Structure 1
Amino acid sequence: MRLIKAHVRNYRSIRDTGEFEVEGDKTIMVGPNEAGKTAILQALQQLNPPSEVKKFDALRDYPRALYNDVTTGKVTPAAVPVVTGVFALDESDRAAVSPEFRECRYSLTRFLDNRGTHHLQGVPAVPTYGAMKKDLVRLAAHIDSRAQVAEGGQPARSAADELAGIASEWSDDTRMATGTVAALRKWLDGAYARIDEEAEKEEQRLDRLQEQASYDERKSKALDLLGGRLPVFVLFSNYFRVRPVIHLAHLSSRLQTGVLDDEQYDYGNSCLLRLLGFTAKELSDLGRVAEPGAADAAALASYRDQLDRRSYQLNAASVRLTEEIRRVWNPNPERAEADRLRVVADGQYLKVVVEDDLGVEIELDQRSEGFQWLVSFFVVFFAEAAGKHENAILLLDEPGLSLHALKQRDFRETVSRLAASNQTLYTTHSPFLVGPGELDLVRVVEMRDRRAGTKVHTTVTSRDPAALLPLQEALGYDLAQSLFASQRNLVLEGLTDHWYVEATSALLGDAGEARINDKVALVTASAASKVVYFATLLHANGLKVAALLDSDAAGDQAAQQDTLVHALGQKAILRAKDYADAAVAKAEIEDLLRETLVGIAKGLGWDVEAKAAAQPGRPLVDILTKEAKGFSKYKLAKAYVRWTRDHDAGDLTADERARWKRLIEAVNAALK
């Protein structure tokens, strides 16, 4: 199963985040300090945490400002929902349930007392007595029409009377739930023998009633089955670290008594032991055992087997950790043999050492903070998701914070690789953990007012500039790195223009109609006024440049600047109005997809179909801005990008394909 929606309430700084969407593979949560990002991850983990994780505690987890409501009994923990997750079924889940439930969604809500309730979305409701009543009455009437007089001359009790007795306390709204419907199901089971074998219609009626009466039981079985397949939520925090040297006897004692010297370190250490397949006590006891004498052959063989098993398991874990760490730490194949991690046991001590490319071994804590973090991450991940790698959701709190910027960029690829089989949500402040093509994966977390608490925005918008800073930095870094990398550059006004051009070019290219030259780089200037600066700077470095401008006032002002005209020439200054419908004098790039975007906007709750048809010369964005409440250019563009994933060029109108074909041909001609 994959988490597709989440909703957190009544948890620490969170009053109500609102329901937010979660991406299928990787979701990135950005926001300033104290916004509540960590609290969201901690609450999500409680949907299905590993066994060792602490459960909700009203004293610690209910919003502190409202805690008097709990102590006075105004609020009971059992009635306080904290986290809700909605899951989509994958292929194996669908195969496990009966066909009638294969298109459903599984929803689980965890309450403050740790009780969970679940239900299925997208399936019919449990039938009511009122929905079945007519068929039941007709079936009873058919049975009674065939009734025979009982022995002794006394008439048998009629089926209608039997039914009336069963339903005597029911109303039309009574749900045919499993506990309620037991007597009715028994009556229906006995009705088959009382139906005329030639009455095919009554047999069909009976089949239909039996299916309705058993629906709640079938639904409950599907719920229980899916509940057992719920992914484990593995949360990794920067505070979970593995000690380089562990005294096994001391750790065993702390774990057994529950008195931990350093809870975060002991958690990381216990994860290491689980990864190795031993308890601290087992390794400690093994370190105390004296080697038996040579005369006792059986004891000597057992002792050697224990040592060999320990050695082999430590070696296997070392190899696995080394392989994963090298993918991030030393991605250069020329240094494939560097940094070998070893876990070794020596008496009462378990040591984690690193062997460098010179063969020198040093303890883990003598390596950099970033390296220690990476080792600890993989230890906790492999241990917590042991045996369930294909069914675990990773929650990473500020991953790679101590890694160098370029290592963070490498780790971003590691997260993408893990997310292919383990859905991943992570929080970050770092621009290097947000890829240039990942803005649609971002959820912005902010808390403007503690009375309102933490909010999650599914669009790349925020009233707090600090929340968007990582995204701005990511775009700035990517732009700085790529600005002079391509000989051919198309400068666009904004990010949404970039999305439209890239997505539509790919759509038409896949259909063999038109595609922007692969050697052309799309450069986002963030505003029409900045197109001039970007184009001039690129042109001054001897690069080929074209600019695509909307035909609104800002675009007109930029297109008429002498600097831009002198640098590019008129042929390389492309205007949206030249490719849109002639009726739209001040066309923007959205008008090249006018018909399709009207439909997509309607699906987002912005129905301007009639207004757009009545005013064909008015720019679509102007119509949406004035007529659609809460309209966002980013949300519309993002929805279009998603639309292209499930559609092909044939789903665009013929006019739209023609417009974009002319535009793409013009871009390629200007930059040939």
Structure 2
Amino acid sequence: MKLVRATVGPFRSINEPQSVSIDPDVTVLVGMNEAGKTVFLKALHKAKDALGKESFNITDDYPRKDVTAYRRRHEEEPDVVVRLTYRPDAREIERVNKLVGIELADGFEFSVNYDYQNQRINSVNVTDEAVLKKLTLNTALSEGVRGILKEATTIRSASNKLAGFESPNDADTALIESLKKRVAATDGAKGWDHISAYEVLINFMPSIPSFLYFSDYDLLPGKLNLQDLKQRVKNAAADPANASKQIEPKHQAVLALLRMAEVDLEDFDNGKSYEELKSQIEAVSISLTDQVLEFWKQNEDLEVEIDIRPDASEAAPFNVGPNIYLRIRNRRHRGVSTPFDQRSRGFIWFFSFLVWFDSVQHQLDATGKASNKSLVLLLDEPALALHALAQTDFLSYIDHLSESNQVIYTTHSPFMVHSDRLHQVRVVEDKVKIGTTVSDNLSGSDPRTIFPLQAALGWNLAQNLFVTKFNLLVEGISELSILQAMSHVVETAGGVGLMNNATIVPVGGLSNVATFVSLLGANGLNLAVLHDYSGRSEQKLESLVSQKLLKKKSVFNFSQFRDLSKLGEDSVATDVEDLLDPDRYMVVFSSVFQKELGHKTIVQSDLPPGDRIVGRIEKYLLANSIKIRPSGGYNHYAVASAMVGNIAENCTDDTVARFAALFKDINAALK
């Protein structure tokens, strides 16, 4: 059975009810700090806590601005705080159909409401019509009974009418007794006009999932005094109302670890040997570490070490009785160990979660075996302290959890969102006067709220951009468009263009080349760089070569292909535009900016002297006070785009020869 929708509110910062669709596998709540992500999770947790410890409290949970007015009507008209809608699976529906004698269709849904008096109000939209209709098909019944069943609208009314009916027919008698029992079963329940609806709910109830909530507060500590823990457990048992003051999350975490190891606090006082106790706990620790390392790929040389010993030199309360010490040993550094709570926060979170989750499953099953009860896991900011790649690894663990339990988690990290699963994302915002809102509408959300999603998409685009092993880095998008077009022209002319499995990557300027080389080179990709030439060598590129981050034979500039008689040699300052025919470039330039130029066609002879056609045009515009754009100069890409739009007519034989030589050398370098 799956939770398909949750409506929450009024609750804390959620002033108005928020209806949120829940993904059958994983739901991600994305929002800024203090937006109300945790509030939403806590509302679900309090509605149906798997451990039965949570409940709604007006003082803590009702929106403060309205709580005084609400108190006046609380006893008579308690507000519904959470409405949960469930969809049973086909197997469950088939089972209930057989038990109740009804015909629920696949996709059937029902709801359960929870109010501020911690009452459960059920809403099952089922009538007795189908049951009664099926009963009338029983030919063993007398005509009189079948007639009553046909006229009845509910099982209750049919039972009342048949109460005084006398018949020697055994089938009639059995039916009348059966209906009496079905009606009697609802005598203690209110509001069930249709007995079938009650029976449907009763049969679905065992399958309704409960909620488990986990946050950073539930992490295991580095050490804990067991005698102090034992006293706290006693105090909590004596005063259950204030148990939370005695048993903090860190105490719960250690109790969970001991429970998993089947060690009782009394065992430390009844003569059980140190070796026996330690071996039991270590066995659990080893098993948990193995589970962590199945998904933890950042450092697979870690292991958790547990010790139990007294230490009179410690500060109180650690100086009395035995303490439990948790440490993390790193085999990579010759077995050096450090206190558990001083190590990587991510590893601690992972290990603590497994302790908590495994322990809770045991608590839910009286036999001591892992429970098979349906759960919805509520994870508050999981893996927040993990490295970006470790967060990506952790997503695999969440997918693993979702195979047996629905997962709802909060985050504001772009690496904790599958960019190809944005349908799982719900945006959480805190709006003025409205309070917390939860929505799956990404387009209407605050840009600050959806920033993690934008970053996730950006990361995905970046990864997809570098899908090939061979990458040619160029400075800008103009180079990209011209090179792509000219590769096609060269191939059409019978030559060899840029190799098909190479990707042209515009890096946004020469200053960004070093960054891209470092990032792409680290992934083991083959790289070549093609850049504009200023007339002198580029120090940044030479530095990359000297650091062996880039091979010298993989660095090219456009000047090396400008003079067909000196191919491969550096010549004068050259941009990609200088490999094109200058006269034809000027024709395209004039047509693109004809309005700004007063419909005048500028020819090459109008331009001041210089090596670069782009520089000469910009000088001309400045000298003639022609402003094409406010910042000066002109949009190179606009001309390049127009140029390649009719590239066949804009090419000369020399242009094709230049680019054919360029692609030949670059292909050789990439291979």
1:331-370 equivalent positions in 2, closer than 5 A: 331=297, 336=300, 338-346=301-309, 348-357=322-331, 358-370=334-346
> Where is the helix percentage greater, Structure 1 or Structure 2?
1
C-alpha displacement of 1:95:
5.3
1:227-263 per-position Cα deviation (integer Å, ceiling 9, x unaligned): 1222221111122221121212211222332353573
Letter in 1 for 2:371: K
State the secondary structure of the residue aligned to 2:217.
coil
C-alpha displacement of 1:23:
0.9
Distance in 1, matches of 2:284 and 2:249, equals 21
Cα–Cα, structure 1 residues 189 and 62, in superposed 2: closer, same or farther, change >3 Å?
A: farther
Any unmatched runs of 5+ in structure 1? 145-158, 167-171, 196-202, 291-302, 490-517, 524-537, 543-557, 572-672
1:288 matches 2:269: yes
Match of 2:603 in 1: none
Match of 1:317 in 2: 284
Letter in 1 for 2:284: A
State the secondary structure of the residue aligned to 2:455.
helix
Residue 201 of structure 2, aligned match among 217, 223, 233: 223
Match of 1:270 in 2: 255
C-alpha displacement of 1:430:
0.3
C-alpha displacement of 1:193:
6.2
Distance in 2, matches of 1:37 and 1:373, equals 19
Distance in 2, matches of 1:69 and 1:274, equals 46
TM value normalised by structure 1? 0.58
Q: Contact between 1:25 and 1:424, CA under 8 Å: does it hold in 2?
A: yes
1:381-422 per-position Cα deviation (integer Å, ceiling 9, x unaligned): 222233235622111111111112221111112111211221
Letter in 1 for 2:411: T
Q: Contact between 1:318 and 1:342, CA under 8 Å: does it hold in 2?
A: yes
State the secondary structure of the residue aligned to 1:20.
strand
TM value normalised by structure 2? 0.58
C-alpha displacement of 1:94:
3.5
Match of 1:415 in 2: 398
1:34-183 equivalent positions in 2, closer than 5 A: 34-51=34-51, 53-73=53-73, 75-76=74-75, 79-90=78-89, 93-94=92-93, 96-99=95-98, 100-101=103-104, 103=106, 104-121=108-125, 124-127=126-129, 143=144, 176=154, 178=156, 182-183=159-160
Q: Contact between 1:439 and 1:460, CA under 8 Å: does it hold in 2?
A: no
C-alpha displacement of 1:459:
2.7
C-alpha displacement of 1:323:
1.8
C-alpha displacement of 1:77:
7.8
Residue 226 of structure 2, aligned match among 238, 248, 257: 248
Residue 328 of structure 1, aligned match among 295, 320, 325: 295
1:438 matches 2:399: no
Letter in 2 for 1:431: P
Residue 235 of structure 2, aligned match among 257, 260, 269: 257
Name which of structure 1's ranges 112-121 and 39-48 shifts more when overlaid on structure 2: 112-121
1:480 matches 2:462: yes
Distance in 2, matches of 1:66 and 1:143, equals 59
Identity %: 26
1:299-356 per-position Cα deviation (integer Å, ceiling 9, x unaligned): xxxx57x974x45542342123202221333x27xx64x1112344446322222222
Q: Contact between 2:470 and 2:503, CA under 8 Å: does it hold in 1?
A: yes
1:23-34 equivalent positions in 2, closer than 5 A: 23-34=23-34
1:563 matches 2:530: no
Q: Contact between 1:444 and 1:461, CA under 8 Å: does it hold in 2?
A: no
Q: Contact between 2:219 and 2:253, CA under 8 Å: does it hold in 1?
A: yes
Q: Contact between 2:141 and 2:171, CA under 8 Å: does it hold in 1?
A: no
1:477-528 per-position Cα deviation (integer Å, ceiling 9, x unaligned): 2223332333799xxxxxxxxxxxxxxxxxxxxxxxxxxxx989999xxxxx
Name which of structure 1's ranges 341-350 and 470-479 shifts more when overlaid on structure 2: 341-350
State the secondary structure of the residue aligned to 2:123.
strand
Cα–Cα, structure 1 residues 319 and 487, in superposed 2: closer, same or farther, change >3 Å?
A: closer
Q: Contact between 2:47 and 2:55, CA under 8 Å: does it hold in 1?
A: no
Q: Contact between 1:8 and 1:40, CA under 8 Å: does it hold in 2?
A: yes
Cα–Cα, structure 1 residues 289 and 141, in superposed 2: closer, same or farther, change >3 Å?
A: closer
Distance in 1, matches of 2:416 and 2:47, equals 26
Distance in 2, matches of 1:14 and 1:218, equals 35
Letter in 2 for 1:268: A
State the secondary structure of the residue aligned to 1:66.
helix
Cα–Cα, structure 1 residues 209 and 113, in superposed 2: closer, same or farther, change >3 Å?
A: closer
1:591-636 per-position Cα deviation (integer Å, ceiling 9, x unaligned): xxxxxxxxxxxxxxxxxxxxxxxxxxxxxxxxxxxxxxxxxxxxxx
Residue 392 of structure 1, aligned match among 355, 363, 375: 375
Residue 184 of structure 1, aligned match among 154, 161, 167: 161
Q: Contact between 1:15 and 1:63, CA under 8 Å: does it hold in 2?
A: yes
Q: Contact between 1:78 and 1:111, CA under 8 Å: does it hold in 2?
A: no
Cα–Cα, structure 1 residues 539 and 435, in superposed 2: closer, same or farther, change >3 Å?
A: farther
Match of 1:8 in 2: 8
1:458 matches 2:440: yes
C-alpha displacement of 1:82:
1.0
**Larger of the two Rg values belongs to structure:** 2
Distance in 1, matches of 2:154 and 2:424, equals 42
Letter in 2 for 1:183: N
State the secondary structure of the residue aligned to 2:382.
coil
Residue 233 of structure 1, aligned match among 183, 186, 211: 211
C-alpha displacement of 1:462:
3.0
1:45-80 per-position Cα deviation (integer Å, ceiling 9, x unaligned): 23321225321111111111111123323x338631
Any unmatched runs of 5+ in structure 2? 186-192, 237-241, 310-320, 363-369, 472-499, 506-527, 532-553, 555-634, 649-671
Q: Contact between 1:288 and 1:348, CA under 8 Å: does it hold in 2?
A: no
Cα–Cα, structure 1 residues 85 and 316, in superposed 2: closer, same or farther, change >3 Å?
A: farther
Distance in 1, matches of 2:199 and 2:143, equals 33
C-alpha displacement of 1:120:
3.1
Distance in 2, matches of 1:438 and 1:22, equals 13
State the secondary structure of the residue aligned to 1:354.
strand
Cα–Cα, structure 1 residues 564 and 177, in superposed 2: closer, same or farther, change >3 Å?
A: farther
Cα–Cα, structure 1 residues 463 and 102, in superposed 2: closer, same or farther, change >3 Å?
A: closer
Distance in 2, matches of 1:212 and 1:442, equals 44
Q: Contact between 1:237 and 1:397, CA under 8 Å: does it hold in 2?
A: yes
